[in-house]
Structure 1
Amino acid sequence: MRTRSLGWATDLAVLELTGSIVEERQDHVLVRTPANPDFHWGNCLLVTDEQAVDDADRWVAAFESAFPDADWVAVGLARMPADRTGWGRHGVQLEVDDVLAAAEPPRRTAPPTGYVVRELAGLDWEQFVARDVAVNAEGLRYEEVAHERFARARIASQRALVARGAARFVGAFADGRLVAELGIVDCGGTARYQTVATAPEHRGTGLASHLLGVAGAWAAARGCTQWVIVTEATNPAGRVYRRAGFEPVAPIVQAYRMPPRAVGLACPR
Structure 2
Amino acid sequence: MRTQSLGWATDLAVLELAGSAVEEHADHLVVRSPSNPDFHWGNCIFVTDPAAVDDADRWVDVFRGSFSDADWTAIGLARMPVYRTAWERHGLALELDDVLATTHPPRQTAPPVGYAVRELVGEDWEQLVAREMAVNEETAQYDAVAHERFARARIESQRALVDRGAAHFVGAFVGGRLVAELGIVDCGGTARYQNVGTAPEHRGRGVASHLIGVAATWAGSRGCSQWVIVTEATNPAGRVYRRAGFELVEPIVQTYRAPHR
Decide: shared fold, TM above 0.5: yes
CA deviations over 1:70-111 (Å, ceiling 9, x no partner): 011100001111111211111111100111000011111110
Matches within 5 A, 1:45-194: 45-194=45-194
Whether the aligned pair in 1 keeps the contact of 2:180 and 2:197 (CA below 8 Å) is yes
| 1:50 shift after superposition | 0.5
- Secondary structure class of the residue paired with 1:252: strand
Q: What residue ranges of structure 1 are gaps of 5+ in the alignment? A: 262-269
What is the CA RMSD across the aligned residues, in angstroms? 1.0
Which AA in structure 2 matches 1:11? D
Does structure 1 residue 231 correspond to structure 2 residue 231?
yes
Could you tell me how far apart the structure 2 residues matched to 1:19 and 1:150 are?
15
Q: 1:87 to 1:2 in 2, by over 3 A?
A: farther
CA deviations over 1:119-149 (Å, ceiling 9, x no partner): 0000000000000001101111100000000
Q: Runs in 1 of length 4+ with deviation above 6 angstroms?
A: none
Could you tell me how far apart the structure 2 residues matched to 1:33 and 1:255 are?
19
- Secondary structure class of the residue paired with 2:197: strand
In structure 2, the partner of 1:201 is: 201
Could you tell me how far apart the structure 1 residues matched to 2:138 and 2:83 are?
35
Whether the aligned pair in 1 keeps the contact of 2:109 and 2:210 (CA below 8 Å) is yes
| 1:174 shift after superposition | 0.3
Whether the aligned pair in 2 keeps the contact of 1:2 and 1:27 (CA below 8 Å) is no
Which AA in structure 2 matches 1:63? F
Whether the aligned pair in 1 keeps the contact of 2:3 and 2:9 (CA below 8 Å) is no
Identity %: 75
Q: 1:165 to 1:242 in 2, by over 3 A?
A: same
Whether the aligned pair in 2 keeps the contact of 1:47 and 1:78 (CA below 8 Å) is yes
Could you tell me how far apart the structure 2 residues matched to 1:232 and 1:23 are?
26
Whether the aligned pair in 1 keeps the contact of 2:72 and 2:258 (CA below 8 Å) is yes
| 1:4 shift after superposition | 3.4
Could you tell me how far apart the structure 1 residues matched to 2:31 and 2:2 are?
17
CA deviations over 1:141-174 (Å, ceiling 9, x no partner): 1000000000000000000000000000000000
CA deviations over 1:3-52 (Å, ceiling 9, x no partner): 43111110000000000001111110000000000000000000000000
In structure 2, the partner of 1:265 is: none
Could you tell me how far apart the structure 1 residues matched to 2:259 and 2:106 are?
37
- Secondary structure class of the residue paired with 2:54: coil
Whether the aligned pair in 1 keeps the contact of 2:189 and 2:226 (CA below 8 Å) is yes
Could you tell me how far apart the structure 2 residues matched to 1:217 and 1:256 are?
34
Could you tell me how far apart the structure 2 residues matched to 1:202 and 1:29 are?
39
| 1:2 shift after superposition | 7.8
In structure 1, the partner of 2:22 is: 22
| 1:252 shift after superposition | 1.5
Which AA in structure 2 matches 1:43? N
Could you tell me how far apart the structure 2 residues matched to 1:212 and 1:79 are?
29
Q: What residue ranges of structure 2 are gaps of 5+ in the alignment? A: none
Could you tell me how far apart the structure 2 residues matched to 1:185 and 1:37 are?
22
Could you tell me how far apart the structure 1 residues matched to 2:3 and 2:53 are?
12
Could you tell me how far apart the structure 1 residues matched to 2:123 and 2:85 are?
48
Could you tell me how far apart the structure 2 residues matched to 1:2 and 1:32 are?
16
Could you tell me how far apart the structure 1 residues matched to 2:219 and 2:71 are?
37
Which AA in structure 2 matches 1:167? A
Which AA in structure 1 matches 2:91? G
Whether the aligned pair in 2 keeps the contact of 1:97 and 1:252 (CA below 8 Å) is yes
Which AA in structure 1 matches 2:178? L
TM-score by length of 2: 0.98
Whether the aligned pair in 2 keeps the contact of 1:192 and 1:229 (CA below 8 Å) is yes
TM-score by length of 1: 0.96
